[in-house]
Amino acid sequence: MSTRETVLKTAEEYEESLRKLSLSVYMFGEKIADVVDNPIIRPSMNAVAMTYTLAHMPQYEELMTATSHITGKKINRFCHIHQSADDLIKKSKMGRLIGSLTGCCFQRCVGMDALNALSITTYNIDKKHGTGYYDRFLAFLEYVQNNDLVCDGAMTDPKGDRSLAPHLQTDPDLYLHVVEERSDGILVRGAKAHQTGAVNSHEIIVMPTVAMREEDRDYAISFAVPSDTEGITYILGRQSCDTRKLEPGDIDTGNRTFGGHEALVVFDNVFVPWDRVFMYREFDFSGQLVERFASYHRQSYACKVGVGDVLIGAVQTAAEYNGIDKAPHVKDKIIEMNHLNETLYCGCIACAAEGHREASGTWCVDSLLANVHKQNITRHPYEIARIAQDIAGGLMVTLPSERDFRSPVIGKWLNKYFTAKSDVPAENRCRILRLIENITMGAAAVGYLTESMHGAGSPQTQRVMIARQVDMKQKQKIAKRLCGINDK
């Protein structure tokens, strides 16, 4: 590895840093005393830990690490501000790599995307309004880089009545907002929903969720606070088959080691010091921050390509175990899965390669292509999953439990009747089917399918951006020129 100064945590150091946090976390109506070792939460922590493990492996150094543009130190790429199109391409390759090694959402992309969006927007706010946000942000960024921290990018508000602007909501807390201004900072109240990996994070970076008008200025705020700040409460969301993690054995979980989680993060009169405030009532820049973040985060769905790699490998294995891998229609369906998956990869690489330099020096993806890429992400994984279930067969959802297979009374029958090819143990067949179930309809389906649909904005938001950014006049101009139409 490089000899330049490094600030890379190990996976063990990351885990220990989480144990030092004092988080208020609730699940199933009860407060969680030991967040790190809770069997439902632990797999998600393992997935984040992989981002630390890979950064210390020489074969992945170029993808997983970068040189800080502010300190010159070697840092984890998840803490990096993109300095070139090559950085953006490596980000996509990194996402595919980790997705393929964990088979789930590894939760660290959203913080990276928030940092890069803020590096652009704070600079632009300062240029227009003469504020000092960019220097505040750089100080925060250096702290994050030097300590190799996980940041949760918190953008999505509960939103209440979607037909009403933030300031018109019956309950003002349905969008996070300022409730008090003090000499040393601000007091905020509200919540952020669907927060991926929130309890595995060191810092919470809050951003507005929509473009604001002047009447919404109290909602046009961005800041960062430690994840265990007083007044913050995490309420874990449920996932399909989540309590399987509480059962003995490891077959029924599908993915034995890794997983994800989502949380509602409640801010109940949380104090934010001024040096952690990066936008304060500059409503005219709220839309810019949302759009920059959304573009970066839509690129980040390269991770779904990595999970797709896992699913395709599982389906090929299931076909071989069932003795149908040579059937022409099965081979053709797996070709289609690969075609769709690689098409997704084309999109994330394209928006990175066509990136541009912003005034702050940060490189940003091509927003049009990022939105096209994410629009494909809302569709192709569902078709890949459909084909996977087609080839896997009905046993994927009617398979008895691991405890049944281990039973001294009925286990012999299950092992007898659920063996397909004679040289493949029934247990191996069960394991691969449970993995396919996990990714396409179990706990990992949250990361592979639901996030593909709703993560980084609903499908319609991407279509709005595509319509806005496509140069339709130019398309008309070239068409008219070719057929001899001369408009005055």
| From 79, 104, 109, 241, the catalytic residue | 109
Q: Is 27 exposed, middle or buried (0-12, 13-18, 19+ CB in 10 A)?
A: buried
Q: Token match 């569709």: residue?
A: 379
Whether 109 is catalytic is: yes
| From 102, 196, 378, 440, the catalytic residue | 196
| From 282, 291, 402, 451, the catalytic residue | 451
Whether 105 is catalytic is: yes
Nearest-angstrom CA–CA distance, 447 and 315: 18
Write phi, then psi, for 279 (nearest 5 degrees). Answer: -155, 130
Strand partners, 221: 280
Nearest-angstrom CA–CA distance, 458 and 448: 15
Whether 214 is catalytic is: no
Whether 69 is catalytic is: no
What are the DSSP calls for 94-110, one per residue? HHHHHHHHHSS--S-HH
Nearest-angstrom CA–CA distance, 399 and 404: 10
E strand residue ranges, 155-256: 177-182, 185-196, 203-206, 221-226, 232-236
| From 15, 203, 262, 282, the catalytic residue | 262
Nearest-angstrom CA–CA distance, 476 and 471: 9
What is residue 286's three-state secondary structure? helix
> Cβ of 5: how many Cβ atoms within 10 Å?
11
Single out the residue of 134, 132, 54, 145 nearest to residue 98, CA to CA: 54
Residues ≥6 apart with Cβ < 8 Å to 107: 44, 47, 48, 150, 196, 197, 200, 201, 260
Nearest-angstrom CA–CA distance, 91 and 97: 10
> Cβ of 353: how many Cβ atoms within 10 Å?
15
Whether 342 is catalytic is: no
What is residue 36's three-state secondary structure? coil
Nearest-angstrom CA–CA distance, 133 and 277: 7
CB 438 within 8 A of CB 254: yes
| From 79, 303, 364, 430, the catalytic residue | 303
Whether 297 is catalytic is: yes
Whether 483 is catalytic is: no
> Cβ of 412: how many Cβ atoms within 10 Å?
11
Q: Token match 């330049």: residue?
A: 4
Catalytic residues: 105, 109, 196, 262, 297, 301, 303, 451
